[in-house]
Structure 1
Amino acid sequence: MFVIAHLSDPHLGPIPEARLSELLGKRFFGMMNWIGARRRNFGAATLTPLMDDLMAHAPDHVCVTGDLVNVSLPAEFDTGAAFLTSLGPADKVTVVPGNHDAYVRSAMHYHLEHWAPFLAGDDSHPHTPVDVDAFPFVRRRGSVAIVGVSTAVPTAVFLAGGHVGRSQRARLADLLRRLGEEGLFRAVMIHHPPVGARAFHRDLRDAEAVREVIGSAGAELVMHGHDHRASLGTIASATGDIPVVGVPSASAGPDDERGAGRYNLYRVTGGPGAWRCEMETRGYAPGEAGVRARERRPILG
């Protein structure tokens, strides 16, 4: 059995001090959002016990599907790196960026520079800087292949959408096919959900094309964040429906309207052509104190 832990959207705070010039434009509105809502509803009081519970379960690998930061100030990426390190060594922790991790164009490469050990594929040269063309990447861990896809692109004020792009989709299709031929359990990490309906300013612009790639090339699991809600969708494939799972923000308080802070454990068993995956959701619930199991169900096989 191989156990994957999945968390997302911790939006680590507090936002560090910044020069006035750094807060012009989109960052200003992000700061107002933090002051007005996120500062009260997101925080260490929720995140720390949740991560303590996660570490107590000693998963084989931890997957973080983006939005570690808030407005992409340089110091936030140091905080993000420290958080990833707290979850385990880089060979056991993988991250993909979210829209907040590429909040403005000037910060587009910060996550690539600061989190490189956690988003570099097995074939990455240790002395070659990670760049946008490194996506998708793959990390083979036993019978499981962790596949990281980036949807992080800078957007205008009030927009929070994502985009995979034609070249990355082509590489993803080839990679998934090759991993399938190797007989590996393919677990895809992506920030923006490729399934479901949401407002245009928050959507994955090429979601239909991404679904076509995953459905055609094949995968066993897709993990995402972004919506701050628990969700379970599917992508149809020739061998059956592929589960597409979203988790709430790991920092959201028990009474957050979109969903209390939680993470998932995926227990992978079986083998090629007969993979099985059980999902356990752990976290908070409205009106209750403490972290505990909230749901346990098979999602594949």
Structure 2
Amino acid sequence: MSRRFRLAHLSDPHLTDPRPRLRQLCSKRLLGWLSWRLRRRREHRPEVLAALVADLRRQAPDHTVVTGDLTQIALPHECREAAAWLATLGPPAQVSVIPGNHDRYVAENAADTLARWAPYCQSGRFPYVRALGTIHLIGLDSAPPTAPFLATGALGAAQCRRLETLLAETQGCRIVAIHHPPHPEAVKARKRLTDRDRLLAVLRRHGCELVLHGHSHHWQLHWLEGPAGPIPCLGVPSASALGRRRGYRARYHLYDIETAADGWRIEVSIRGLDPASRAFRHEGGFRLHCRS
């Protein structure tokens, strides 16, 4: 029996408190800041995120992936705070991150914002691949800035071509991480991945063993078409959510991955916030058998 590899997946922590200057609100950021002040700050709680991180440490994953939306409106000080928080999860060799739409709220100088996360995303070149033994984690960037009232994503033709090359050349268990879910039923139109058909075509041709996403703030399991059978596509809720809306309470996943005779066996463990104790506990799980 081969050694199991434990991968943790969390998303959308929205961990920062935006403190904009007046001039920084002369953009789409005004809408995001108002949303935070009027609603989101009551739902996304630092004590919930702290409880998740404490539980995550007890589970001792080999690697952790964060699928975006670390900030609220991508102010430079938010990106600095998010970089400091990533360091609490572990060194860059043990933590990977990809951006979400809140992390690119407006066009901004990258040196002041996402460049601070470069050690956690292979210097910010997307798609990137992390070789974790026989497991390869491929990080995509689906979060260009968008117009007000939109939270859509896009990969672009160049990134999809590079992904196709990586999937064709990479052996082992290939896990694709993306912020926006590629399944057409996962989110409303204003939050969709606009070029998902291009991504789905790449996956139909070359496959992968697992797709991980965030963005919807809801637990989701969908199946995508692959050359050797369906590809599981899993999303997790916000890592900091109290869960005032049904189904949106904070959760994260653990994936225990090992080789099987004809592919990969993945044990999925769901850990979620207990509203009474405000601690995280095991909420069930299931097994995936992914054929190579």
Same fold (TM over 0.5): yes
What residue identity is the alignment partner of 1:82?
A
Q: 1:61 to 1:111 in 2, by over 3 A?
A: farther
Q: Is the 8 A contact 1:283 1:294 kept in 2?
A: yes
Taking the TM superposition and a 5 Å limit, the aligned residue runs for 1:277-288 are 277-285=266-274
Partner of residue 11, structure 2: 8
How far the C-alpha of 1:256 sits from its partner, in A, is 3.7
Paired with 2:144 and 2:110, the residues of 1 have a C-alpha distance of: 7
Partner of residue 196, structure 1: 184
Greater Cα shift, 283-292 or 158-167: 283-292
Partner of residue 56, structure 1: 58
Deviation readout 1:4-31 (Å, 9 max, x if unpaired): 000000011322x222111112111101
Paired with 2:101 and 2:280, the residues of 1 have a C-alpha distance of: 28
Structure 1 regions of 5+ residues with no counterpart? 121-129
Partner of residue 295, structure 1: 284
Paired with 1:272 and 1:236, the residues of 2 have a C-alpha distance of: 22
Scaled by the length of structure 2, the TM-score of the pair is 0.94
Q: Is the 8 A contact 2:17 2:72 kept in 1?
A: no
2:213 matches 1:213 = no
Partner of residue 123, structure 1: none
Paired with 2:88 and 2:241, the residues of 1 have a C-alpha distance of: 19
Secondary structure of the equivalent of 1:113? helix
Taking the TM superposition and a 5 Å limit, the aligned residue runs for 1:78-227 are 78-107=80-109, 110-120=112-122, 130=123, 134-179=125-170, 182=171, 184-197=172-185, 198-227=187-216
What residue identity is the alignment partner of 2:53?
M
Paired with 1:169 and 1:240, the residues of 2 have a C-alpha distance of: 21
Secondary structure of the equivalent of 1:47? helix
How far the C-alpha of 1:267 sits from its partner, in A, is 0.7
Paired with 1:216 and 1:110, the residues of 2 have a C-alpha distance of: 38
Structure 2 regions of 5+ residues with no counterpart? none
Greater Cα shift, 34-43 or 271-280: 271-280
Q: Is the 8 A contact 2:176 2:210 kept in 1?
A: yes
Deviation readout 1:264-284 (Å, 9 max, x if unpaired): 000101158321111101012
Paired with 1:163 and 1:110, the residues of 2 have a C-alpha distance of: 23
2:241 pairs with one of 242, 246, 252: 252
Secondary structure of the equivalent of 1:70? coil
How far the C-alpha of 1:287 sits from its partner, in A, is 5.7
1:263 pairs with one of 246, 252, 262: 252
Q: 1:152 to 1:107 in 2, by over 3 A?
A: farther
Count of residue pairs brought into register by the alignment: 286
How far the C-alpha of 1:254 sits from its partner, in A, is 4.0
Partner of residue 124, structure 1: none
Paired with 1:285 and 1:196, the residues of 2 have a C-alpha distance of: 31
Q: CA RMSD in A?
A: 1.6
Q: 1:110 to 1:278 in 2, by over 3 A?
A: farther
Paired with 1:224 and 1:272, the residues of 2 have a C-alpha distance of: 28
What residue identity is the alignment partner of 1:84?
L
Scaled by the length of structure 1, the TM-score of the pair is 0.91
Q: 1:157 to 1:258 in 2, by over 3 A?
A: farther
Paired with 2:36 and 2:109, the residues of 1 have a C-alpha distance of: 18
How far the C-alpha of 1:215 sits from its partner, in A, is 2.3
Paired with 2:72 and 2:13, the residues of 1 have a C-alpha distance of: 9
Q: Is the 8 A contact 1:3 1:266 kept in 2?
A: yes
Deviation readout 1:102-156 (Å, 9 max, x if unpaired): 1001255644411000000xxxxxxxxx45xx21110101110010010010001
How far the C-alpha of 1:255 sits from its partner, in A, is 3.2
What residue identity is the alignment partner of 2:166?
L
